[in-house]
Amino acid sequence: MNLDTLVAVSGVAGIHKVLTTRANGLIIEDLNSGKNRFISSRKHQFTPLESISIYTEDGESTELSKVFDAMQEQLKSNPIPTDLNDAKATKAYFEKILPNFDKDRVHNSDIKKAIKWFVYLQEKDLLIPGEKPSEKKEEDSSKEEKKDSKVAKAETKAEAKPKKKKAPEKATSYQKGKLK
């Protein structure tokens, strides 16, 4: 799952796509309406979904993208609970998804949020199984290489053209050492 452009913003409901960054905040796109807006970093905190992990009992953590992959794989055999307010049902569901999650540090609210995000992203068709950020970065780097080669070609064409010589500037009386 590729979650590198998606963020959760404190004080703003839902998940948003980052369009660009600024020194004092982000310009984000609302995935429901498609509208863009500026969110100030002075008022809000941004959490990229790719940086979120679920604590496990072995002291490590599991990335949210891997949890989403497991949820996608088990969608038919382990359906999402309809009532997310039922703590026992959501924990039982999540134990099947990630059997070694830390029951002391992962709260029911965390599980509910992960499930809500999964359902939301699945409805928007933003969860593409098997897509990894490294694959996208390789595609982006090949595009950049093509762009760099076009720039290099343009520079060599510019160098091949004969340059016009500039006429020497006339020296002023100050430059000649004479003051008037």
Is 143's pLDDT higher than 50? Answer: no
Task: Decide the pairing of beta strands 25-30 and 36-40.
Answer: antiparallel
Residue 104 falls within a domain, yes or no?
yes
Is 35's pLDDT higher than 90? Answer: yes
Q: Which of 51, 67, 93 is the last residue of a domain?
A: 51
Whether the Cβ atoms of residue 63 and residue 53 lie closer than 8 Å to each other: yes
Q: What is the pLDDT of residue 155?
A: 52
Name the 3-class secondary structure at 51.
helix
Q: What is the pLDDT of residue 27?
A: 94
Which tokens hold the place of 31? 């995935």
Residue 66 falls within a domain, yes or no?
yes
| Rg of the chain, C-alpha, whole Å | 27
The whole domain housing 13 covers: 1-51
d(CA 146, CA 15): 33
Name the 3-class secondary structure at 166.
coil
Q: Do residues 5 and 26 share a domain?
A: yes
Residue 177 falls within a domain, yes or no?
no
pTM here is: 0.68
**CATH number, residue 24:** 2.30.30
